[in-house]
Amino acid sequence: MISVSDALDTLLDLVSPMAAETVPLRAAAGRVLAEPVSAKRDQPPFAASAMDGYALKSAEVEKDAMFKVIGESAAGHGFAGRVGAGQAVRIFTGAPVPEGADFVVIQEDISRSGNLITIADHPGTSTNIRPKGGDFQIGTTMDAPRVLGSADIALLAAMNIAQVPVRKQPTVALISTGDELVLPGDTPGPDQIIASNTFGLDALLTAAGARVRILPIARDTESDLRTGFELAQDADLIVTIGGASVGDHDLVAGVTETLGMSRAFYKVAMRPGKPLMAGTLGQSTMVGLPGNPVSAMVCGHIFILPMLRAMLGLGTDTPALLTAPLAHPVSENGPRQHYMRGRFDGQSVHVFDDQDSARLTLLAEANVLVVRPPKDGARATGERINYLPI
């Protein structure tokens, strides 16, 4: 058995960053920027008014000063002339500030009669002008890697970057194994259950940027499992669920061996999730997860997500653990690293009494996995404990 961190190092060694591809801006949302991109223009491209008002010379701004309005500058329709002494241009938000003007008096501070305006109130010190290039300039870069959120997409649009270089999404094939499994919506026989963690893993990995394919459930026969691997062979990552232990019906280790997989390791000193195997199968990386629903999902968080991040070019650092005080004492941990379901309520962590790895209700109720290292001693109420938000 190897430690969780050795297992993770080995798994991360099995994968490498995907190639880049260029996609239209809208398709880039949620994707990982593959290389730095730079703005093709200044924003704003001209000194722009931040308010509705009158553009004039700052040197002439004082209460009761009068000006003649000589024209108008609206968004998309600038004023072509020049503002001279004693002159003003009616201006609106987003419009170019005309030449000769360097101040916008907001309309609330003006009284107007025909073409004459008077500054009726002291206009303050802000020029109400956004300088050319004040947000970004030609050459301002957005650095990579970066998961592109909605604000990034808005910024890329403003930079006039219509085609975005992103990492290709890793394709992940999920193969559930077991005679007892049927798909959600099907009618299970009396000895059957619904394949659940398959769908949980699909949700987890899709949200993390993978393109997931759920393959037909492989029955517990070598030929069915072999067919599953054949169907999955073009995937970047093949994840099997179940059949990973050493029971008579656990066939994943044997079948992958006959298919020529070089196995990186087999068992990890962790709870839940001890039987876990990984290696390289043809073009693909293969990870065999245990079938117990909570084990499979915990392994998804602890191993598969970091692998996906590495494949997406987001690096190999694992997310830092957080710490919070315990709401109650916990007993000594055994020899395996234990990921315990619990809830953090904003103040302290409550670790659930029941840690049965078949109980999905407790996983759904949990918002953290408390991480107990092997042989971690008993802990008292208020002691700080490490956890991973899930």
Contacts with ligand AMP by CB under 6 A lie at: 176, 178, 180-181, 193, 195-198, 241-245, 247, 250, 290-293
- Report d(CA 167, CA 61) in Å as an integer: 54
Does 228 contact Mg ion by CB under 5 A?
Answer: no
Token reading at 76: 């998309």
* Side-chain-facing half-sphere of 208: CA atoms under 13 Å: 25
Shortest Å distance, C-beta 4 to Mg ion: 23
Stretch that binds Mg ion, among 28-36, 149-157, 235-243, 370-378 (CB under 5 A): 235-243
Stretch that binds Mg ion, among 127-135, 153-161, 183-191, 236-244 (CB under 5 A): 236-244
CB-nearer residue toward ligand AMP: 87 or 357: 357
Q: Which residue, 252 or 312, is less far from Mg ion as judged by CB?
A: 252
Binding site partner of 180, from ligand AMP, Mg ion, none, Cβ cut-off 5-8 A by kind: ligand AMP
Among 53, 243, 300, 313, binds Mg ion (CB under 5 A): 243
Q: Are 311 and 16 in contact (CB under 8 A)?
A: yes
Instruction: List the structure tokens of 200.
Output: 């949980």
Q: Where would I find the beta strands (DSSP E) of 60-115? A: 66-73, 87-91, 103-106, 110-113
Rounded Cα gap, residues 15 and 90, in angstroms: 61
Nearer Cβ to ligand AMP (12/299) = 299
Q: Which does 260 bind (CB under 5 to 8 A by kind): Mg ion, ligand AMP, none?
A: none
Output the CA angle 370-374-379, nearest 5 degrees: 55
Please say whether the dihedral angle defined by the alpha carbons of residues 93, 99, 102 and 103, taken in this order, is positive or negative.
negative
181 binds, among ligand AMP, Mg ion, none (CB under 5 to 8 A by kind): ligand AMP
Q: Which is nearer to ligand AMP, 244 or 287 (CB)?
A: 244
Tell whether residue 200 is a contact of Mg ion (CB under 5 A): no
How crowded is residue 108: how many other Cβ atoms within 10 Å of its Cβ? Answer: 11
The residue to which tokens 């870069």 are assigned: 141
Nearer to ligand AMP, 61 or 241 (CB): 241
The Cα–Cα gap between 368 and 383 comes to 17
Q: Contact positions toward Mg ion, by CB under 5 A?
A: 178, 242-243
